[in-house]
Amino acid sequence: MSAGNQFEVSEKVIENPDSISIKHAIDANVGSDTHIIFPLKYFEAQSGQDDESDGNITVLLILNQQINILPNLFAKLWSNASLKVCADGGLNRLRDYDSTSLTYIPDYVVGDLDSAKEENIKHYQSLGTKKVLQSSQYYTDFIKALSLINAFFNYPDIIRDIDNIDSLDELEKLEDEKSASSNVKVKTLKIIVLGGVGGRFDQTMATINQIWNLSSRRPHLHFAILNPEHTEMIVLLKPGFNFVAYPRFTPHEEIDIFGIVTDKSRPGLRNVGVLPILNDAVITTFGLKWDVENWRTGLTTKMSSSNLQVGNEGFVIRTDKHLFVDFEL
């Protein structure tokens, strides 16, 4: 902030006790630029689970990275997803994870299929999984999977004819055409991406790049990344007032929800990081151990990592730019 500004807004950091209510902040700020994120939507079977009305559809996308999350959590994710898709080698990881190889049968495996083992493809095909080969090197397996997912819910005629498309890139092209020309109101999809961060570093950054590009091109696709190496969720926040509606639970409540008490960096307190990866931003937060006010954050200056959620109802981030946030489950 230059000294010449007429209205100087000073930065502040406030250290909070380990448990606070943020009701006042929510009530005072909910407005037209409000975005509410419900992390539990991915885990809790909703009352109308089979109701695929707008906003109620969750999809599980498994990327090619070792799955190392608690079995109960995985079971919840799986049973709550309307569609399960493996991107190429994600199929191997699923089979490695599922010792019986019979519990979790994905709906699709898609990609150039240079990583998925032939024996795994055969195994899952015999159990009903559909294989969609798209061998173009122009698109990543991640993009291919998302074309399939979007088509599945929004352009069913592509899916009806999927056995007849070419094996190069017809799926991506058809989905792209439909997206550009269709005036059908598309359904919002909540896609949980298992993998893509926490492994090789260029893959982690490529995932961020692709989540950004896809969120811009297909705003009805809402993503949450689940780090398979550490039980945390990563989401993209929009400019405005973002409320992560994730109450703090007692151990008893956590067992009800997840079947277990989840790992956390500090007992009872979820780790939170506010990540200005795409650009610098000015943020104000409510419900963190170290709340900030009018705080300029950026990768080349300062950022709030290893923060903790102390807000009982969740936490709030007001930002002037897009931001990523990660938080433990």
**Which H, E and C letters describe the chain, residue by residue?**
CCCCCCCCCCCEEEECCCCECCHHHHHHHCCCCEEEECHHHHCCCCCCCCCCCCCCEEEEEECCCCCCCCHHHHHHHHHHCCEEEEECCHHHHHHHHCCCCCCCCCCEEEECCCCCCHHHHHHHHHCCCEEEECCCCCCCHHHHHHHHHHHHHHCHHHHHCHHHCCCCCHHHHHHHHHHHHCCCCCCCEEEEEECCCCCCHHHHHHHHHHHHHHHHHCCCEEEEEEECCCCEEEEEECCEEEEECCCCCCHHHHHHHHCCCCCCCECCECEEEEECCCCCEEEEEECECEEEECEEECCCCCCEEEEEECECCCEEEEECCCEEEEEEC
Between 212 and 249, CB nearer to a second copy: 212
Binding to a second copy by residue 179, rule CB under 8 A? no
Residue 70 sits in the site that holds a second copy (CB under 8 A): no
Q: Please state the closest distance from residue 204 (CB atom) to a second copy, in A.
A: 7
Pick the closer one to a second copy by CB: 167 or 279. 279
Instruction: Count the residues of the shown chain that bind a second copy, applying the rule CB under 8 A.
Output: 36
Q: Which stretch binds a second copy (CB under 8 A): 35-43, 77-85, 119-127, 201-209?
A: 201-209
Give the tokens for residue 284: 């104000």
Structure-token pair, residue 248:
């703090």
Q: Which of 3, 201, 252, 267 binds a second copy (CB under 8 A)?
A: 201
Residue 227 interacting with a second copy (CB under 8 A): yes
Does residue number 232 form part of the binding site for a second copy (CB under 8 A)? yes
208 binds a second copy (CB under 8 A): yes
Q: Which of 34, 179, 203, 294 binds a second copy (CB under 8 A)?
A: 203
> Is residue 303 a contact residue for a second copy (CB under 8 A)?
yes
* Residue 103 near a second copy by CB under 8 A: no
Q: Would you say 229 or 254 has its CB closer to a second copy?
A: 229
Q: Does 299 bind a second copy (CB under 8 A)?
A: yes
Contacts to a second copy from residues 257-296, by CB under 8 A:
265, 271-275, 277-279
Q: Is the C-alpha dihedral spanning 295, 301, 302, 305 positive or negative?
A: positive
Q: Which is nearer to a second copy, 28 or 205 (CB)?
A: 205
Q: Which of 209-217, 235-243, 281-289, 308-316 is the region at the interface with a second copy (rule: CB under 8 A)?
A: 209-217
Cα 308 from Cα 168, distance rounded (Å): 46
For residue 6, state whether it binds a second copy (rule: CB under 8 A). no
User: Applying CB under 8 A, does 206 fall inside the site for a second copy?
Assistant: yes
Q: Is 213 in the site for a second copy (CB under 8 A)?
A: yes
CA separation, residue 31 to residues 34, 111, 252, 321 (Å) = 5, 41, 34, 17
Residues shown for the chain: 329
Which residue number, 125 or 279, has a Cβ lying nearer to a second copy? 279
Per rule CB under 8 A, is residue 306 in the interface with a second copy? yes
109 binds a second copy (CB under 8 A): no
300 lines the binding site for a second copy (CB under 8 A): yes
Residues that bind a second copy (CB under 8 A): 197-206, 208-209, 212-213, 227, 229-230, 232, 234, 265, 271-275, 277-279, 299-300, 302-303, 305-306, 324, 326
